[in-house]
Structure 1
Amino acid sequence: MELTLHFLFNLSLLIVLLFFSLIWTENTKKVQSAGIFYCFSSLLICYGFSYPLTDHILLNLRNIPFVIGSLYIGISPYLGLVAIIIRAFFGIDLGFWITVSFYAIFSLMFWKLHPWFLEKSRKQRILIAIGFMYIVGIYQILPLNFALEGYPILDVNLAFLLIQPLGVGMIAYFLEEFDKFIIYRQQLITIERQEVVEKMGAAISHEIRNPLTAASGFVQLLHSDSLSPESRLQYLAIVRSELKSAERVIQDYLTIPKMKADGEDTIYINDALNNVIQMLIPSAQKNSIEIIANFSNESIVIGDSQKFHQCLVNIMKNGIESMPYGGTLTVETDATATNVIITIQDTGTGMTEEQLDRLGEPYYSTKGDQGTGLGTMVVFSVIRSMNGNIHVDSSLGEGTTFELVFRSSLAEDCLSINEIKKSNMVHN
């Protein structure tokens, strides 16, 4: 059984080389190059571990890479030529001419069968490769059975008719599974890209709907004949502001990976909250929701006013939507020497601990199919980019509380907030 053990060791080297080649293919995406490298490297390994049965007969597993490369890649003439050249270095003898005749016949045959082989199913290709390996093995051992006397014929037959087909079957199976893995991965990437596009489209629609709904509501109010000129101008200003918000939302989602508050605007917290509340009053009244505002002294923070406005809209609108049968939305502020705290509390359906833990994950929504999972993600991203902290407390059936904490920005020369406003009005 010495030859069989020698072939098993040689086969283990071919399988190890195969795995390195597959890793190379995975990293470089050069399937053809990796396959050619594997076949020619395997030929060299097989000849390097040849078993000298006699002075003129060298036995090895060179036909395994020959069959694999011929059927799967279609390079049988090149593999046959290289095998003949390598064999010539061992001597131009009877064994060399047998090698020449063998590869002349089978190189031409496999070259013609390559296109037909690739048209078969995965299972059929594996079985065909094993079958051809049996044919090649029988072609080799028939003359050996007649020519060898005093040698372990059983060992030779076992090595050629068991180890070689086993090796081809294993390598063909690994190649087919790797090919299937690549196809499945490409399909998965395509599906994920389609889902991202669909979700992004839904997210853009969802975010744009907020300002457009508000603008539409105030446009309807503008049709009232009893509306005072002051209210009409105020409503027109809100409509204009919300249309600009919709435009900014589109720009933001075109660069969603860079979704962060990078502006350096001076944001008056109470004014920002009042603007959002005024915008959401029609939606709140429609759902029988009372909005209670309890603000401390005016405070300012530095950040992107548009994105901050969008965050407040997302939080308050989610609170309103969580109270379909009415309730109370409480908006409070508190200012200390160092911090500004905004608390937004609803009496809605609340969230479970699992939902609370996943809040802010991309595409995760507590609204099921009605949500996109991007609104809250934007809130967390923008608040963090403004060097703020966000804390969420919720209990199922008892409502949800959002607490936003920012570092307070002090005006230069110790001016009061009112003085800053007056100064801005003079400059404007």
Structure 2
Amino acid sequence: MENITMHFLFNLSLLVLLLFISFTVIRTMSSKSIFVFKRTGLLYCIVSLMLCFLFSYELGDEAVLDLRIVPFLIGSLYLRMSHILFIVIIVGRGLYGIDFGYYLGLVVYAILSPILWFISPWFLKLSSKYRILLMMGITLLISVGILILVFNDADSGHGHTWDLIFAYVIVPPLGVAMIAYIIEATEKNIQLQQQIIKAEKLEAVEQMGAAISHEIRNPLTTAIGFVELLSNNSLKDDKRVEYLSILKEELDSAERIIQDYLTFSKPIIESYEKLHIDTELTHIIKLLKPLANLHSVKIITNFSSSQFIEGDRSKFQQSFIHIIKNYIDCMPHGGTLLIETTDTKTSILISITNNVMLNGKQQPILNRGMAAAFNIIRDMKGTIDIRSQNGNDSVFRFSFKSIKH
């Protein structure tokens, strides 16, 4: 394998490595805004173009060969950023001199840039397979065009025929296919995780609906009884006022239960803000109380945190609803669930311990919903520690970095 091909393959390995680093950066970011994805993707393409110029191969006086077409196509079609990448390419190529190769690149990318910008929305509507095939086809077409231009220059192409053919016909289409496949696979994984969360949430909504119906029946039954008492014309005014007050309290209680249930059923809207852990957990426990009562599970709390974290309220609630619900589901014969919070200098610790009746002892199941919940916690820069206590009780410990308030 000759020099040009080796250069291209080494450059391609750097582009793939950089892509994995970019995905790691995106995953650890505190914000999941689409603008963050675009900025990180654009930065990846710009740095990739710089690497392509850095590891280019100068063939002759005016021919600079590299893999710039790979990040250019990725950024143009997936991010619709061809105009920015066009400027980066022209500036980068200009560092090698303003010659015939520079002007040729200027013309080629000036034509490609608006075309790719125009077809990007259509491209994104294609299936994953056709997106990859289309990018490979465009890359191969451009590579063949570059080969023709190089071979027309007798001085440049002389003695490098098979090396040039292999380098341009194989490596760029292969590189585009590899990077596009990684992007598509990552996107599918994100979509699958979201589908798992939705499916688990739907199951939780159904189970909680059954439990909440019992909780609602109690205040409504009480309210009906007092309505019947109020219909008595001989009732004294002071008793009537007292009964109306009790009736209002019972109806307010039923309304709060329904409101909490509807809040949980709403779709998740990403919005990062300061969260007080104790307040959020109190709301979650209140929401799950009917389900716990149905399973004869007593929830004991010991909250002592005064600090805040930064995160998405809906996702935080969803993740801990799944975790606590999983504990409740694994205690069919009843038991006690202890939830505690403590502060350290830099973190907030959440501990969940189950003390299950021996005749119904089960450990929490690490199912798909729990896996999705753990991923949400990790996305919020939380850590997870699972262990057994005294060989019986299961303890989940979560740690979140606190912020100043």
Identity of aligned residues (%): 37
Q: Who is 1:126 aligned against?
A: 132
CA distance in 2, matches of 1:90, 1:260: 61
CA distance in 1, matches of 2:254, 2:337: 15
Residue 70 (structure 1) aligned with residue 114 (structure 2): no
Question: Quick one: which amino acid aligns to residue 105 of structure 2?
Answer: T
Q: Who is 1:394 aligned against?
A: 359
Contact preservation (8 Å) 1:84, 1:99: yes
Question: Quick one: which amino acid aligns to residue 363 of structure 1?
Answer: D
Contact preservation (8 Å) 2:4, 2:167: yes
| From 31, 35, 43, the counterpart of 2:37 | 31
CA distance in 2, matches of 1:260, 1:116: 43
| From 363, 367, 370, the counterpart of 2:329 | 363
Structure 2 vs 1, CA of residues 60 and 364 (structure 1 numbering), >3 Å: closer, same or farther? same
Residue 47 (structure 1) aligned with residue 63 (structure 2): no
Structure 2 vs 1, CA of residues 258 and 197 (structure 1 numbering), >3 Å: closer, same or farther? same
Residue 258 (structure 1) aligned with residue 223 (structure 2): no
| From 208, 212, 218, the counterpart of 1:204 | 212
Structure 2 vs 1, CA of residues 392 and 32 (structure 1 numbering), >3 Å: closer, same or farther? same
Matching of residues 343-422 of structure 1 within 5 Å: 361-364=327-330, 366=332, 376=334, 379-381=335-337, 392-394=357-359
Structure 2 vs 1, CA of residues 315 and 14 (structure 1 numbering), >3 Å: closer, same or farther? closer
Larger radius of gyration: 1
| From 147, 165, 168, the counterpart of 2:176 | 168
DSSP-derived class of the 1:394 partner: helix
Matching of residues 224-373 of structure 1 within 5 Å: 257-258=281-282, 361-364=327-330, 366=332
TM-fit CA distance, 1:212: 8.7
TM-fit CA distance, 1:193: 2.6
CA distance in 2, matches of 1:34, 1:259: 35
TM-fit CA distance, 1:250: 8.8
Contact preservation (8 Å) 1:66, 1:79: yes
TM-fit CA distance, 1:384: 10
Contact preservation (8 Å) 2:11, 2:67: yes
Residue 4 (structure 1) aligned with residue 5 (structure 2): yes
DSSP-derived class of the 1:74 partner: coil
CA distance in 2, matches of 1:90, 1:360: 62
1:274-299 deviation digits (Å, cap 9, x = unpaired) = xxxxxxxxxxxxxxxxxxxxxxxxxx
Could you tell me which runs of 5 or more consecutive residues in structure 2 were left unpaired when the two chains were aligned.
225-245, 261-278, 298-324, 342-353, 362-405
Contact preservation (8 Å) 1:3, 1:159: yes
Structure 2 vs 1, CA of residues 382 and 201 (structure 1 numbering), >3 Å: closer, same or farther? farther
CA distance in 2, matches of 1:142, 1:391: 75
TM-fit CA distance, 1:395: 8.8
DSSP-derived class of the 1:97 partner: helix
Q: Who is 1:155 aligned against?
A: 163
TM-fit CA distance, 1:248: 7.6
TM-fit CA distance, 1:18: 0.7
TM-fit CA distance, 1:134: 0.3
TM-fit CA distance, 1:246: 11
CA distance in 1, matches of 2:206, 2:68: 52
Contact preservation (8 Å) 1:360, 1:380: no
Matching of residues 185-224 of structure 1 within 5 Å: 185-206=193-214
CA distance in 1, matches of 2:17, 2:253: 56
| From 177, 190, 200, the counterpart of 1:182 | 190
CA distance in 1, matches of 2:115, 2:141: 12
CA distance in 2, matches of 1:202, 1:14: 52
CA distance in 2, matches of 1:203, 1:98: 71
Question: Quick one: which amino acid aligns to residue 13 of structure 2?
Answer: S
Contact preservation (8 Å) 2:295, 2:331: no
Contact preservation (8 Å) 1:260, 1:381: no
Question: Quick one: which amino acid aligns to residue 204 of structure 2?
Answer: V
TM-fit CA distance, 1:365: 6.1
TM-score calculated relative to the size of structure 2: 0.57
TM-fit CA distance, 1:33: 1.3
Structure 2 vs 1, CA of residues 394 and 208 (structure 1 numbering), >3 Å: closer, same or farther? farther
Structure 2 vs 1, CA of residues 215 and 395 (structure 1 numbering), >3 Å: closer, same or farther? farther
DSSP-derived class of the 2:16 partner: helix
CA distance in 1, matches of 2:280, 2:98: 69
CA distance in 2, matches of 1:70, 1:260: 44
DSSP-derived class of the 1:362 partner: helix
1:115-138 deviation digits (Å, cap 9, x = unpaired) = 221221111000000000001101
Structure 2 vs 1, CA of residues 384 and 92 (structure 1 numbering), >3 Å: closer, same or farther? closer
Residue 103 (structure 1) aligned with residue 109 (structure 2): yes
RMSD: 4.3
TM-fit CA distance, 1:14: 0.4
What count of residue pairs does the alignment treat as equivalent?
Answer: 277
| From 150, 159, 162, the counterpart of 1:144 | 150
DSSP-derived class of the 1:58 partner: strand
CA distance in 2, matches of 1:87, 1:383: 61
1:15-74 deviation digits (Å, cap 9, x = unpaired) = 011111122233342221121111111111111111122232111111101111111122
More RCO (CA 8 Å, sep 6+): 2
